[in-house]
A and B are shown apart, each in its own frame.
Chain A
Amino acid sequence: MKPHEDQRYIQALLNNDTRLIQEIYRNNAEQVSRWIRKNSGSADDAKDIFQEALIAMYTKASQGDFQLTAPFGALLLRICKNKWIDRLRKKSRSPEVRMEDEARHKGENTHNLAEETETASIKEQILEQTFQQLSDLCRKVLKLLSEGIASSEVAIRVEMSNANSVYRRKKACTDRWRDLYNLEAKKADL
């Protein structure tokens, strides 16, 4: 299937293309802002949600297959709405917004991709949250290795005896990380 013409905006997020990202804001910010303000939010809330939605799309797109089947703006608005509704629900405010909204968007072809993007975004948040629970040393070792620094060099930087010690430490860290992640993922029904 021929890619949707708005696929370039997905690419723009992956490439951090300022000009096209500006176009994304120009084309969509007002609509998102208006909807959020209409639903108990402020312009600042809208700014945060808009940013979170774009980061969610970036996350999903950077994991591989992300083919737009609807206009970028429609998907972005859908994700923003979902995020805002979830936030309101957490604050126990206006749960009726979702019901009203779900009815309105039934059958819209942004639904599946929006849900997948949201799932990727939640997983990412749990990865972040649980990564922050690791020790300073764990985070440092994992970060250095992810930057492509050779294990022997990492050993020197974190004052370990050799590369194998680094990997042993990494194992302890990633095992712990996985336990924490699985626990939170279960709570979030993932």
Chain B
Amino acid sequence: MEEKDYIELNKYLAGELSELEHDAFAERIKNEPDLQKELVWQQETDAFLKRKKGVNNLKVTFSKIENDFFKEEKKEAKVVSINRKNWLGFVGIAAAAALLFFLFNPFASPDLYQQYSNPTAISLLDRSDVINNAKEAETAFNQGDYEKAYAFLSAYLVGNGDNLPALLAKGIAATEIGNYKEAEQILKSIDEGKTMLTGEGTWYLALMYLKKGEIEKAKIQLQKIPSANNRYEKAKSLLQDLN
């Protein structure tokens, strides 16, 4: 197809032709199979691109509903029981990964954040646990009260600064309350470290950028997640949505 015909076809579809030009082109379409074929392809691809948005909106709705109906038996068996005297401090690195697996969605707005996070909460402490700031931090975090969680986690981390899961939780809480500068600093430190939580740091750093609206930075982080990481599929899917 000649370029000028293609351009005219697109102007026709976009309503950018005068009435006279529009009618004349409509007549040509009726009589020229090549134009008809191109028209169909243009309409199909255009409809596909429009549908992408609808699909994304549906996925957000599904993500709000589905966990009530598809219980993952594996997950329920993994609830972590830990030493009551030092909650996250005694969590080994594997348990820490399990904790993060259970972290519920820290993002409350009905958008891509909900779609890409895990809404399941976990209880790590016995009722009898009385550990300064730890129980409060966990409760606030699991209830989605990030202002409070942030404050308790900050207090807890004084003296427990090397506790990666708690640090990560603080990074997430900081993201949620819009304290992006600190969130970036914390999550970057985890992302750049060589621990079992590196992938989690990368993932939440990407989500932080996403929430902040820095899409290109988010994409760079998502692309870093290796295929062996359990966030890989979600990262790939989020990347597709962002593209």
Contact = CB atoms under 8 A, between A and B. Distances in A.
Kindly name the residue among B42, B64, B69 whose own CB sees the greatest number of chain A CB atoms within 10 A: B69
Contacts of B194: none
Interface stretch (B49-57, B133-141, B167-175): B49-57
Given A54-B58, A174-B45, A128 B68 contact: no
Given A127-B45, A150-B14, A18 B64 contact: yes
Nearest to B57: A16
Given A43-B70, A62-B51, A150-B14, A18 B41 contact: no
Contacts of A128: 48, 52, 240
Given A132-B240, A139-B243, A164-B7, A43 B61 contact: no
B220 to A, nearest CB: 13
B72 A16 contact: no
Given A16-B54, A58-B54, A151-B16, A42 B72 contact: yes
B58 A33 contact: no
B162 interface: no
A63 B44 CA distance: 9
B32 interface: no
B62 A43 contact: no
Contacts of A174: 41-42, 45
A112 interface: no
Contacts of B69: 25-26, 29-30, 33
A13 B66 contact: no
Contact of B55 (A33, A55, A132): A55
A85 B14 CA distance: 42
B65 A25 contact: yes
Interface residues of A, number: 46
Given A22-B65, A142-B49, A171 B58 contact: no
Given A25-B69, A43-B70, A43-B72, A171 B62 contact: no
Given A18-B64, A146-B49, A55 B58 contact: yes
Contacts of B72: 42-44
Contacts of B11: 151, 167
Contacts of A4: none
Contact of B46 (A13, A55, A63, A146): A146
Contacts of B47: 62-63
Contacts of B6: 167, 171
Nearest to A55: B55
A6 interface: no
B70 A50 contact: yes
A87 interface: no
A43 B66 CA distance: 11
A25 B243 contact: no
Interface string A162-190: 01100110110010011000000000000
Contacts of A55: 55, 58-59
B16 A43 contact: no
Interface of A: 13-14, 16, 18, 21-22, 25-26, 29-30, 33, 42-44, 46-47, 50-51, 54-55, 58-59, 62-63, 124, 127-128, 131-132, 136, 139, 142-143, 145-146, 150-151, 163-164, 167-168, 170-171, 174, 177-178
Which 3 residue pairs are nearest across A and B when measured between Cβ atoms? A146-B49, A29-B69, A47-B70
5 contacts: A16-B58, A136-B243, A151-B14, A170-B10, A171-B6
Interface of B: 3, 6-7, 10-11, 14, 16, 41-42, 44-52, 54-55, 57-59, 61-62, 64-66, 68-74, 240, 243
Given A51-B62, A55-B59, 9 more contacts: A13-B58, A21-B61, A30-B69, A50-B66, A62-B47, A124-B48, A142-B45, A142-B49, A174-B41
